[in-house]
A and B are shown apart, each in its own frame.
Chain A
Amino acid sequence: MTRSLRPLMATTLIFLFAYMLAVLQHPGMLSTRVLGNFLTDNAFLGIASVGMTFVILSGGIDLSVGAVIGFTTVLVAALIMWMNLHPLLAFAIAMIVAAGFGAIMGAAIHYLKVPSFIVTLAGMFLARGGASVLSPDSIGIQHEFYSTISKSYILLPGGGRLTVVGLVMLAVFALAILLAHRTRFGSNVYALGGSETSAALMGVPVARTTITIYALSSALAGLAGIVFSLYTSAGYSLNALGVELDAIAAVVIGGTLLTGGYGFIAGTFIGVMLQGLVQTYIVFDGTLSSWWTKIVVGVLLFMFIVLQRLVFRAGSRRP
């Protein structure tokens, strides 16, 4: 077990090391304020990355999450502002729509036997297009519920604020860890990622599991969209452009094997935090430009892929 935990430990150590280096340069970064903002600012990315982790664990990929986030923000805004629904009802509808969308993609992947990559690409186009057909313009959300949520937080020692949005992300991660490691569905996901044929022979319900995985991923993307709309108080079809790439990067940096069957939800959390750290460091530094985020995330991605290769070299040479 120690050997299989190695990538997770490597990621954690690299995060702690990087955080230490950052704190040495900017002592202000070691505060609960910064940590609280870490959680709030990356909440939508974290929630979407949880769904992506399940998809990648099963050996697939989901390119539609950014588009589903964008679509959900528009749908929620439209339901609240145009239909005058209560936000909670709008959230429920949005989650159901997103989950149904994912279930259809999962069914297409399983029954049409096409790579998940191309199905979710179609899903991405559809969700982005659907969002801009709903409303090409940004819709501002004004509702008491929204202002209450954005004002409520738990005060941490040291002045940090643990917002509702941040709490939602932490809860999602906790539930996802239980789901992945303590339920039959979780085992089925790992089995599917190891080898679909073996999983089917062992009696894993492949169709049901595949559909559930993509429904879960899209539902979490929907939740991420809700969080995004709480965070920005607006719905816009171009929200969260390219978030699927950040999510995939977070999953890979978190030590999940891209060929499926191996990985940890907790690793994804660290992957998200590491990306947040890079962004926060660049803000603190002030002289670095924003594009360094992309380059550093790319370099981290590369480092972790190579690391995975080295750790798993002894295993199967080629899939």
Chain B
Amino acid sequence: MTRPTVDLRPASLPPNPSPRPLITQLARPQVMALAAVLLVNWLLFPGFFSITWQDGRFFGSLIDVLNRGAPVAILAIGMTAVIATKGVDLSVGAVMAISGAVAAVLVTNGVSAPVAVLAALGAGLLCGLWNGILVTVLEIQPIIATLVLMVAGRGLAQLITEGTIVTFSDPVLIFIGTGSFLGFPMPVVIALVLMLAATLIVRRTALGLLIEAVGVNRSAARFAGLSANALLLIVYTFAGLCAAIAGLIVAGDIRGADANNAGLWLELDAILAVVIGGTSLMGGRFSIPMAVLGAVIIQAMNTGILISGFSPQFNLVVKSAVIIVILVLQSPLMAQAFRRRPSATPSKPGTQE
């Protein structure tokens, strides 16, 4: 692991123009972890991989994993960008509650659904912008800056819903949470489109490189002529937008806005998904598709625990075990252990990406 901290991608580094072969892509530990989890699920529940077509859409446990994993996957897309800048956004769960509350209250008061959706997304953008301003203008540590909204946000959401669970029967909002497109559940489609768009934008333009530059060293990036503050504002606003989308999905799914429980602790799941995806918490190295894969792994584990008959709380123990394994694998101690054995495995790529 003697590589530099900045993992310059093939797309941006001329000396290494050939893209990574498909076989090494598939050999990534995340892909193997997902395969292992799915295999265990299949052993526990032989019908796990069966997918049926009914009423114009796919049904099956696998589809269910994707569908339930979609909100966390969407949060993880925004969170990846934030963590890549060496930040973190703790407020996404609260922003989900706010966006759901805004949409539900507007729709029940007779506002048309598209306007309500736009207003909810706007609320998410504003929340993200607020976090971004705290981080850039006031130069507050991200973890604390976003803590403000994490604490106050749920209160704001309750203020909007006036403490009740606002239920609605608007077809458009319900479609976002439970509808289907080309046979796939709407949340999955949204997550997929968002992932592809975000990946294309950061990898086909210089934006990804700039985000990594800010993550590695914000001062150096500024001295190199990057407007680091503008970039950070964009990143936090994007995370707010992602949270708003996830909030709409969750509200549509339960046909109501629950300010207390919508997105509760999902920020932690999103961070976990990003970490599983191999994005470094120290900033500078990130992968959006891998974070989405991380979210799917988390959901596959959740589903596995449910079908194996353990109590849902058992999830937490498994999740913490996963974090511990990842931390040990990513730690400098492990890197040293690999380095001490010369020539056998000079740079094992498995543990990091």
Contacts and interface: CB of A to CB of B under 8 A. Distances in A.
A110 to B, nearest CB: 11
A117 B144 CA distance: 12
A245 interface: yes
A125 B159 contact: no
A47 to B, nearest CB: 20
Given A123-B320, A291-B159, A309 B140 contact: yes
A59 B275 CA distance: 22
Contact of B330 (A108, A114, A124, A292): A114
Interface string B124-155: 00000000001000111101110111111111
B343 interface: no
Nearest to A292: B155
B148 A298 contact: yes
Contacts of B327: 108, 112, 114, 118-119, 122
Given A121-B271, A291-B158, A301 B313 contact: no
A14 B198 CA distance: 45
Contacts of B88: 117
A113 B282 CA distance: 11
B141 A297 contact: no
Contact of A318 (B219, B275, B319, B321): B219
A168 interface: no
A150 interface: no
A2 interface: no
B286 to A, nearest CB: 16
Contacts of B311: 132-133, 136
A121 B281 CA distance: 13
B333 A130 contact: no
B218 interface: yes
Interface extent on B, as a size class? 35 or more
Contacts of A113: 331-333
B328 interface: yes
A148 interface: no
A61 B146 CA distance: 14
A133 B328 contact: no
A160 interface: no
Contacts of B332: 112-113
Contact of A121 (B153, B163, B268): B268
A207 interface: no
Given A136-B313, A259-B141, A294-B154, A111 B333 contact: yes
Nearest to B222: A318
A309 B138 contact: yes
B315 A129 contact: yes
Interface residues of A, number: 46
Contacts of B148: 298, 301-302, 305
A236 B176 CA distance: 36
B132 to A, nearest CB: 15
Contacts of A133: 311, 313-314, 317
Contacts of B313: 128-129, 132-133, 136, 237
Interface in A267-319: 289-295, 297-299, 301-302, 305-306, 309, 317-318
Given A119-B327, A291-B154, A129 B317 contact: yes
B141 A118 contact: no
A112 B320 contact: no
A93 interface: no
B323 A122 contact: yes
B317 A126 contact: yes
A182 to B, nearest CB: 29
B152 A298 contact: yes
B139 A289 contact: no
A114 B268 CA distance: 16
A28 interface: no
Contacts of B330: 114
A258 interface: yes
A259 B140 CA distance: 10
B317 A118 contact: no
A252 B144 contact: yes
B331 A112 contact: yes
Given A112-B333, A298-B152, A299-B152, A118 B159 contact: no
Contacts of B317: 125-126, 129-130, 133
A294 B157 CA distance: 11
B82 to A, nearest CB: 13
Contacts of B158: 289, 291, 294
Contacts of A248: 144, 147
Residue of B151, B272, B333 with highest tally of chain A CB at under 10 A: B151
Given A114-B327, A115-B281, A128-B313, A301 B333 contact: no
Interface in B270-291: 271-272, 275, 281-282
A293 B88 CA distance: 25
A249 interface: yes
A292 B331 CA distance: 42
B156 interface: yes
B328 A112 contact: yes
A281 to B, nearest CB: 15
B324 interface: yes
B297 to A, nearest CB: 15
Interface string B307-319: 0000101111111
Going nearest first, the 10 A-B pairs with the smallest beta carbon separation are: A298-B152, A129-B316, A294-B155, A132-B313, A129-B317, A291-B158, A125-B320, A126-B320, A112-B331, A122-B323
5 contacts: A248-B147, A252-B144, A294-B158, A305-B145, A318-B139
Interface of A: 61, 108, 111-115, 117-119, 121-126, 128-130, 132-133, 136, 237, 245, 248-249, 252, 258-259, 289-295, 297-299, 301-302, 305-306, 309, 317-318
Interface of B: 88, 134, 138-141, 143-145, 147-156, 158-159, 162-163, 218-219, 259, 268, 271-272, 275, 281-282, 311, 313-321, 323-324, 327-328, 330-333
